[in-house]
Each structure stands twice: as C-alpha cells, then as structure tokens.
Structure 1
Amino acid sequence: MKTICFYFQLHVPMMLRRYRFLEIDQDHYYYDDFANEANVQRLAKTSILPLNLLLLELIRTSRGKFKIALSISGVSIELFEQFAPEVMESFSELAKTGNVEFIAETYAHSLSSMFDPDEFTQQVQQHSNTIFELFGIRPTTFCNTEMIYSDEIGEMIYNLGFKTILTEGAKQLLGWKSPNFLYGHAVIPDLKILVRNMRLSDDIGFRFSNNSWSDFPLTAEKFMGWIKSTDASEQIFNICMGYQTFGERQKPESGIFEFLKAIPFHALANRITFSTPSEIAQKFNPISPITVIYPHSWSGEEKDVSHWTGNIMQTEALQKLYALGERVRLCSDRSIKRDWLCLQGSENFHFMTTKPWNSFVIWPQYESPYDAFTNYMNILSDFIHRVKEEYPSSIDNEELNALLTTIYNQEIKIAKLESQLGYNNNE
C-alpha cells in the first residue's frame, strides 16, 4: 500500500542589524529586534498559525489517519517564545494528537556538520533536549540543515543514536533509482535513509501558483492520481518543503490551503495512507545502500552546498567563525554562547552567495552579497575580540584540549556523585 510522508521544515532567521566598523569593541548587541518581531508576527499570522490550525483539523477529521513530520530550529523556538508565544501553543496542540513526529536538527540551523563535528554533536543534542522539554517527545529521526547529507554526516548521526535520516533525492545521490523507496547508508546497514521526492515536493512548493506551468492548476485529485499511477513497487512518497510554502511562497489566494485540506480525502479514497518517518523505517526495509561522498542539499539546481560555501567571502567567514569553536565551548558567558549560535545560522552565509537565488526570499535585507559579507564580518570581528578576552589566542589548541579533557572528567565525576547522592536519598 502506498504511503505519504509529509515533512515540513521551519527556520526563522535571527536577523542581524546594520553593524558599522566603528562599533567594533563598542557595542556587543547584533540583532535587529524590530525586524525580528515584524518577521515572526507576520509569519505567524500568514503562514504558521493557519497551517497548524489546518493540520490539527485534518488530523481530527481523518480520525487520526492523517500524519505529518516537522522540525523547528532552536533559534526559531526562541523567537516564537519572545515574539509570538501563541505559535508554540499551536505546536503543543499538534504534539498532543500523537500524529506528529518532531524531527531533530541542529539547534541553530547551522552548517556545523561540515565544519565542526563537536559543535554539530552539541547542537543536535541541545535541539533534541529542547524538543523533549517542550513536547515530551524525544526525536528519533534526524534531518540536517537544508537537508545537507553525506556518508560522513550519516555516520555522525548514527553515533548520536539516530537510526533514520531525511535528505534530498538528488540525481547525484540516486542516479537512475526512484526516490519512492527506503534506502540505507553505504556502510551502516542500520541507518535508514528517506529521500525527498523532488518533483512532487516542488510541484507544491514552487510550481503550485505558476499559471504557465503545464500542469496548472494543481488539484488534490490530480496529485493523488499521479501517486496512484506509479509502479506498484513504489510505495513511499516523501513530500518535504519549508513551512513558509503555505501562506508566504504560495499565497492564500492561490488556493494552497484548500489544496492541502482536500489531500486526506482524495488520498484515502485511493487507499493511500499517511506515515511518519519512524513508521516508514519500522515498516519497510532498505532496497539498497546509497553512497554520498560529498555533501548535498535541497538547494539550487546542483543540489550541493555551494549556496553557502561557493565563494571566497563565504569561505573566509565560515573559517573564521568555526576557528572559535573550542574556545566558545570552554567559556561560561551566556551572551557569548547565545551569539555563537545565532551567528552560525545558515542564512548568514546564504546572503553572501553570488549564485542566482532560486528560492523564495522573505528577508531581503542587504543590497549585495558583499554588503552581507561586510556587515557579518564587522559583527564577527567584535565577537572574536570578546572570545579572545575569555580565552586569549596565546592559549594553543593542545592547552585547550587539555582543559576540555579536565572539564569533561569533572563533569563525569559530578554526574556519578549526583547519582550516588540520589540513590542514597531514595534509600
């Protein structure tokens, strides 16, 4: 029986303010609070709240047959809690249905998986803990920032305890293979890989309101007909898109919400079910392993990572940022740690791209990629000075590693003592 896995990824960037060179070492606040509040409240009104309300309705009216998966970056959660707490309440209502699988990702929606494995590990754990604290659900499936994936990233995720991962069904990954099957890691058979069906996902995400598209208008009946007509052996259809598809990229007047509302009826009429990623991983076996040597993503025609790492400006910014990783993780200054997370947001480097944008731009705040680079580097220069005040560059990496080892051993000892204390108290 054919099944659909709907996955929505939600990340709202922490917008940086215009930061001048003369402010370096003078002002350590980097954020445009007015823009952040306006963006969050607009998104809440036009996209997130209407979509969550509809998803809740579909789950209830289908008597639990409609299911979805979603991920919310940690930085987005902080923005919602600050500027639109009703958004988090709506996610809590969805969580209570038991029909939503919350997917783990990097807390800052960062590129740490490619530049700093230790930071990547810490952010994934931080995000997982945050989801558990908010919704009482511990994520078991992972989807990286912008669906970035490689064999090496898959191995890191598996070592963190995840057995299922979502990624883009790019041609360089699948070749002639269909995205409508479950796949496995090249050398770790236990790691299962769900790949995004690019065509069906982009039909909704990018082509839905394009009246010059040969299949315009797209109806739920037509969409389900396409799925039903596929070969009987193709049973898994991963439809993945950004949250902002609904109400922002595809405006309400396009009929996007009505389209989604009709999906469960036409799916169930065609005996097509809905599943979460973990359910698919439990029900199906991988048809074959796939090998991904170089990281790929769901961005651009190339489906690579060049939108974030493709020019000298991006490379310099990323190298200087992640060179600070060990020192930041040693410090105890809460403002430094928060700024460290926000400065890692992938959008900061996407704004520097010199490649044509093929994605929907919601936050056009810079005049050019160079303007984005200059502003970011001014902020990063101030941040570097603050980190060096905590741990001067005269301390080499060997000394830092020794300090980290000492701290780690102390944490283990403290945990053991606390455990023993708890045991004694219970007695």
Structure 2
Amino acid sequence: TAVFETKIDGYPTPKVTWLLNGKPLTPKEGAQVEMNAATGEAKLSIPKVDLQQHAGTVTCRLENPHGIQEETARLDILAAPLITTQLAKQEETVSGKDVTLRVIVRGSPRPEAQWFFNDTPITPENVTFDEEKSEYQLLVKQPTVATSEGTYRVVLKNALGETESTPCVLTVLEPVKLTKSAPTSDVVDLKVGEPFEISFDVGGKEAPKVQLTKDGKEVKFTSVEGTRHVYSIAEVRPEHQGVYKLTAKNKLSTEETNVTLNVTAPLNITQSLTDINTLLGQNGTLSIMCDAFPTPKVAWFFNDTELKNSPKHKIEAKQNVFSLTVNKCDHPDVGTYRVLIDNGIDHSEQTAKLHVGVKPKVEAAKPANDQTCVIGQDTQISWKFSGLEKPQVTW
C-alpha cells in the first residue's frame, strides 16, 4: 500500500483533491481518501499498487474561494520484469525484407534486454525501446535464410529479478528460382533415336511445387534429387515432339519456362518404286513405302508433268504407303512415272515405267488351218496371233 500524508490550512477549509498523473483519484481506482478537519491532516492510501496503473505523479490540490495550491510527489513502484505480450511463436518474412520482433514488458526500474539468436547474444545496435508502449523491439535487417533463419528469444532483467520470453522461430521465405542445366537452347531439334534431357535446379523457400507438362498434359520427372529435377528420353520418337513447360510455384512467386522439342527422321524407303505391266483397260498402281518424320509430301509426275487427283489418276497416302493408280490404262499412259518425296529435312525421287499390254488373240479361225497331207511330204500348220507384248507361243 502506498500512503501519502499532508497537513493543510486555509479558511474557508479548502477542498482537497488527489490526482494521479493529472487525473482525479476515486475509489474506483482503489484510492482511499481521509481528511481530519480538526488536525488539518489529509491522507491518501492506494492499496495493492500496480506498476501499470499507479506509477507516476501524485498531486494534492487545495482549493477555496481565495485560491488554489498544489503539491506533487513521485510514486515509483518497483517490480521485477513481467512480460505482458510475448514474442510471436513464429514469424515469416521475405528474403531481404526487414522484420521487427516485439515483446511488451512491465518492470521498474526499466529492465535491460538481451536478445539471442540461436542462443548467441545479439549486439544492441538494432535493439530499440518504445517507452509509451513499454515495448522492446529487435530489427532483423535484410534477412537471409543462411544468416537470419532460426530461433530468437530475449532475457529481461532489473534489480528485482529477470524473465525470459518464449522463443520465436523466424522463417525466411525466398521466391522461386529456376536454373537450367539442360538443354542449352529453348528449341531443340533432334533426329529419331537421339537422346533428350531437360534438367533444372529449382530453388525457393518454402520448397516450390514443381510440375512438368507436354502440350498441356502432365508428365513425370525421370528423377528428383534435392533441387535437381530431370526428365530424360534415351531415344526420341515422333510422339515425343511437343512443347514442354516447367512450372514452379510457392507462396511468393511462380516461374515458368518452355522447351520446344522438334523430332525429325530422314527418309527410310522400305519398298522402292518398280516397273509394272498391266493390260489394256485395267488399272495400274505404282507404290512406294517410306518411313519419315515429319510425314513427307509426295508429288507424282508422268513424263515430267506433275499429276493431280482426277478421274484418270488417283493419288493416295495410307500410313507409310504412297501410291498412284492409273485408271483404265491405255496406250497413251505408257511411259516413265516419277515420284518425289520430301519431308523438309530429306528428299528422294524414284522412277518406274508403266507398260500396257494386250491379251494374245488368234486372228484366224481354227477351221481355216485344217488340211490333208501326203505321207512322207512336208506340211505346215500356222495360226496368226496378236497381242502386246509379243505373245510367247508354245506348241
């Protein structure tokens, strides 16, 4: 209990008012006021003084019609340090962005603060005190994961005792960072059978979520070791061609990068163009089998004149078979046909001849060859045949 006593005098008897830090004290604040008019003694009692509520300047004000008089005294309350607002258990900041740790403490005399980082004392140049709030502050400047991430605490001490804050774990976040190891270019041109690899180091705090897609559909990484993400193909095929997009995302940022894979294959002719023979009025088909990627463009020529689809000529491509059909072959269709195949990286041409034949035909009726011969004399039996090519005759 804090007790203040004074003697007063005046006529008429002055009105006595007690104030704490400029505000009148009432029983609501726990103040007990006594006045002995016979002796002129005035007394103020404040039981169970509280550092936050009662410390400061106590004023006794006397007032009557002839004037006002005041006397003041200091009420200093001694108390061991008491933390009223603890450090946050966890704090997050971005790499390079300053962060302030705060703790509010009551105590008199004013406690000294010693901050610790991972149990190592921190020098006081970045420590401040907000007297109005009774708040101790530690400024962590330009934090990084390597130098600033860890556990912080503060010990507060005065002549009456000491206390320690709960620990605060500071996490330093970093935006996503992509570092490409392979390929060296954003556009890769490969031939069928060659190897292909995408390799990135993906950094960031918190650890980013990483996804790889091909033409919008997710594909799985071949291996993930630490920050290194690898997607590899031992031998590329046409179906591997496309746009590969790597996306990495965390709380702070999202990063994307694209790699375009172009797959090509030189011409591989597995069945060549060959001469054909057909009969007059029948269809004749020239064909060639060729594997290539991209799919080749094919042009057909007859005696160096390019052919197009028409009632006479039918041009088809089914998978790797490319064909030209000459409908109802006639003698003007006889000649040299040429096919030109080109897929942009390789080209080839082949030629073949179309022969139009006529079925063998007996030009003279059999009865005309009936004859009688004399034994021992020569005789001749003959028939006349026609046809293209010249018919082979067997007796």
TM-score by length of 2: 0.15
Structure with greater contact order relative to length (CA < 8 Å, sep ≥ 6): 1
Asked which structure has the greater CA Rg, the reply is 2
Greater fraction strand: 2
More helix by share: 1
